[in-house]
Amino acid sequence: MFDLGRSFLASVERSPNAPAIVDGNTRLSYVEWMLRIGSLAGGLRLLGLRHGDHLLVVMQNRWQMATLHWACQFLGVIVTPLNWRAKTDEIEYCALDADACAVAYDAASAAAVAESAACGQIQRISVDDTTIGNKATEEKAGGTIAFDDLLAADAPATLLSASADDCSIMLYTSGTTGKPKGVPRSHRAERAAAIAHVAQNLYSNGERTLGVMPLYHTMGVRSLLSMALVNGCFTCMQRFDSGDALRAIARERITHLYLVPTLYHDLLADPEFHKTDIGSVRRLGFAGAPMSEDLLKRLDGAFRPDIFVNHYGSSEIYTFTIDQAATEKPGSAGRAGLNARIRVVNLGAGKPDELAAPTEEGEIIADLTGDEAFQGYWKRADADKKALRQGWYFTGDTGYFDNDGDLFVTGRVDDMIISGGENISPVEIESVLSLHPAVDEVAVAGLTDERWGQRVVAFVKRRSSVDAAILDGHCKTSSLVDFKRPREYVFVRDIPKSPVGKILRRKLIAGEYEREI
């Protein structure tokens, strides 16, 4: 199988003059981008980075970050991206954990990188020509070099230094509980995932996508790689703004959107949405979190896409399941992807053959021999022991197969509400409440209750005036069984979410939210 460097080179040779990347006034064809990637790879080699080294990258989506990603693929350097909003303690932890040899950063992350002692001891690459620390410290640790100086370095790289079995990237899990875990992924797995992404979203040659999902997240990386495979164009957005996104869609004639539900919600809510030419968008895809039935219907009506894909997966195994007609069975995650095998086992099962019955909720597991799968966490034997069993990855997600064989994801094992001895999934309740026209967003969590163990509480961001009694009446007339109805409603200004749109229930449980006045 090709490594990723050969894959990119093949696209350059196939369509050298096709538009490859757009970032503000920077517009590069494949051959123009290849020249910069090659120069940067040479500069990184001159800096001392070698095959198997880790390059920590802490920056926003921009052409420089995408170029660093591809330069690493040619060199066999392991790109290790972090959230540009990461605090110093997380950067410090990951720099030490990954044994990083260098760190690349921009103005958005410069302050946090500056306070990291570990980053002060390795080579630093500044995209915005921002130095950190004092001059003595800079000289002692090798100093900070400007990204542009690396591009200009007279050091042609020996390209194609990686093989398909080498490590391409190490993503870090979000770390919502405990320390983040490194997820090393090979060129083989990354390329297989990109090819599957192309096929499952029915991409055509010359596709154009909005590169807004962060390049420290598997969704952003998949958009970057899949565009290259089909000589598509990746339009960078350094940070999401619904108005800027709408203008980019119209200006760049974006053909495909691959976003988390939160960003779709914000696009529809923007006052300029109905004035914007979105006719070029023919394909929609989402992942990262469930999408409410109401939002599905509104998006389908607004875009009328040719295909609307619900993608369910993880950093560890990019694709679990795919539903290419998300609006036909709202809530369904579909069936196993091209490179996947999926099972649902009994909650608490220790073995992959302890299968749950159809419609019975259990834990979702995935076959580790699939082409997109990782082989284990970085230096975390404890995590491997918990999640990897007899050739299967135990995801920690809960769900069930319906009688048609379609998978429904109901939440996380840790999110399950146990009230009066009954297992209650927050996602089912959220789906019901989201259909009320006055509900903008909703999240459900279990709060400690002396009698019931946990009580079901709905946290609601309102679109218009509504009270608890009306919402309770809505639940009573729905298909929701009585014991699953929320016992309390809390009206909030916003639902706390991770940078990629996942609901942070732990913050709701801890009271870390702002009530609506």
Distance set, CA 96 to CA 56, 72, 93, 124 (Å): 10, 20, 5, 15
Buried b (16+ CB within 10 A) or exposed e, 6-17: bbbbebbeebee
As a whole number of angstroms, the distance between CA 440 and CA 113 comes to 37
Q: Which helix (H) or strand (E) holds 267?
A: helix 261-269
As a whole number of angstroms, the distance between CA 225 and CA 218 comes to 10
Q: Are strands 362-367 and 422-424 parallel, antiparallel or unpaired?
A: unpaired
Residues 6+ apart with CB under 8 A from 337: 196, 200, 313, 319, 320, 321, 322, 372
As a whole number of angstroms, the distance between CA 425 and CA 418 comes to 9
| Topology annotation, domain 4-184 | Rossmann fold (3.40.50)
What is the per-residue pLDDT for 134?
40
> Token digits for 18?
């096709």
As a whole number of angstroms, the distance between CA 20 and CA 27 comes to 8
Q: Which helix (H) or strand (E) holds 95?
A: helix 88-97
Q: What is the dihedral of CA 81, 85, 90, 94, to 10 degrees?
A: 10
Q: Which segments in the chain show pLDDT lower than 50?
A: 133-141, 176
DSSP code at position 444: E
CATH architecture assignment, domain 416-509: 2-Layer Sandwich (3.30)
CATH code: domain 240-412 is 3.40.50.12780
Please provide the distance, in angstroms rounded to a whole number, between the alpha carbons at the two ends of the chain: 58
Q: Where are the domains of the chain?
A: 4-184, 240-412, 416-509
DSSP notation for 135-153: HHHHHHTT-EEEHHHHHH-
What is the per-residue pLDDT for 487?
95
Say if residues 332 and 402 touch (Cβ distance below 8 Å): yes
Report pTM: 0.85
As a whole number of angstroms, the distance between CA 44 and CA 22 comes to 23
> Token digits for 488?
């309390």
Say if residues 398 and 364 touch (Cβ distance below 8 Å): yes
What amino acid is encoded at 201 in this protein?
Answer: N
As a whole number of angstroms, the distance between CA 417 and CA 489 comes to 16
Establish whether domains 4-184 and 240-412 are of one fold. yes
pLDDT per residue as tens digits for the range 470-492: 999 999 999 888 889 999 999 99
Say if residues 390 and 369 touch (Cβ distance below 8 Å): no
Q: Are strands 332-336 and 362-367 parallel, antiparallel or unpaired?
A: unpaired
Q: Are strands 362-367 and 342-345 parallel, antiparallel or unpaired?
A: antiparallel
